[in-house]
């Protein structure tokens, strides 16, 4: 049977519930990266979630991957600012990509499908970056996925740091203008 891969912004209460549940299963249960005592309802929901864009990737009707994008504004301090004391230039517009997950299941067992899921999620991130006019994207990376982010154009901009005794992560930055210069240089 042919399976269909689709990616979209998550907006409905049911989709968001499944999204928060997947984050809980991944970061609390599987990775022990967040304490269960903070999420007694089995849903990993953070302060930034109400203002974030949540993207889900589905195979048929099963949520198999997700990621969030938080846009910096006057009412929002990015998590990377809190964790790594990153200074922002007021002449730029920023966002932070957070909590990339690929569900461990039979539908995601091959390298090829994992790559397609990541590519599809980042295509949606790209659409949001363009629509919002963002000039820079931050993320926090663990050692295990840093090389993947570097292949996407992110650069490490600080040292690894343990946040609240939970996870050891480094700050990374993607300068959209630098990426555009590289792309247009190659097209000439």
Spans of all domains in the chain: 5-187
pLDDT at residue 87, rounded to an integer: 86
Of the candidates 162, 150, 29, which has an alpha carbon nearest to the alpha carbon of residue 84? 162
- Is it the case that residue 187 has pLDDT exceeding 60? no
Q: Quick check: helix, strand or coil at residue 164?
A: coil
Please state, for a pLDDT cut of 90, what percent of the chain lies above it.
Answer: 64
**What's the CATH architecture for 5-187?**
3-Layer(aba) Sandwich (3.40)
Tell me what the pLDDT averaged over the chain comes to.
90
**Rounded average pLDDT over 24-33:** 91
The yes-or-no verdict on residue 185 having pLDDT over 60 is no
Distance of alpha carbon 96 from alpha carbon 28, whole angstroms? 21
> Does 175 score more than 90 pLDDT?
yes
The residue-averaged pLDDT of 92-114 equals: 92
Of the pLDDT bands very low, low, confident and very high (cuts 50, 70, 90), residue 33 is: confident
Q: Is the pLDDT of residue 188 over 50?
A: no
Quote the tokens at residue 117: 């899921």
Of 21-25, 45-49, 95-99, 164-168, the range with the lowest mean pLDDT is 164-168
pLDDT at 52: 95
Helix (H) or strand (E) holding 181: helix 176-187
Residue-wise pLDDT tens digits, 150-173? 998 999 999 998 876 677 899 999
The CA distance from 78 to 84, in Å, is 10
Burial class (CB in 10 A: 0-12, 13-18, 19+), 77: middle
């Amino acid at each position: 049977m042919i399976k269909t891969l689709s990616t979209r912004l998550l907006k409905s209460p049911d989709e968001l519930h499944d999204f928060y549940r997947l984050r809980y299963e991944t970061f609390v249960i599987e990775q022990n990266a967040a304490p269960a005592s903070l999420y007694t309802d089995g849903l990993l929901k953070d302060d930034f979630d109400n203002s974030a864009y949540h993207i889900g990737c589905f195979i048929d009707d099963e949520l198999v991957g997700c990621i969030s994008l938080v846009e910096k504004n006057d009412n929002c301090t990015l998590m990377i600012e809190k964790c790594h004391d990153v200074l922002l230039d007021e002449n730029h517009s920023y966002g932070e990509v957070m909590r990339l997950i690929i569900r461990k299941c039979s539908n995601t067992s091959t390298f090829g499908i994992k790559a397609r899921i990541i590519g599809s999620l980042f295509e949606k991130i790209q659409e949001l970056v363009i629509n919002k006019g963002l000039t820079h994207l931050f993320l926090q990376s663990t050692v295990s996925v840093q090389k993947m982010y570097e292949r996407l154009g992110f650069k490490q901009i600080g040292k690894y740091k343990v946040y609240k005794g939970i996870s050891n992560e480094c700050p990374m930055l993607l300068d959209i203008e630098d990426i555009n210069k590289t792309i247009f240089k190659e097209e000439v």
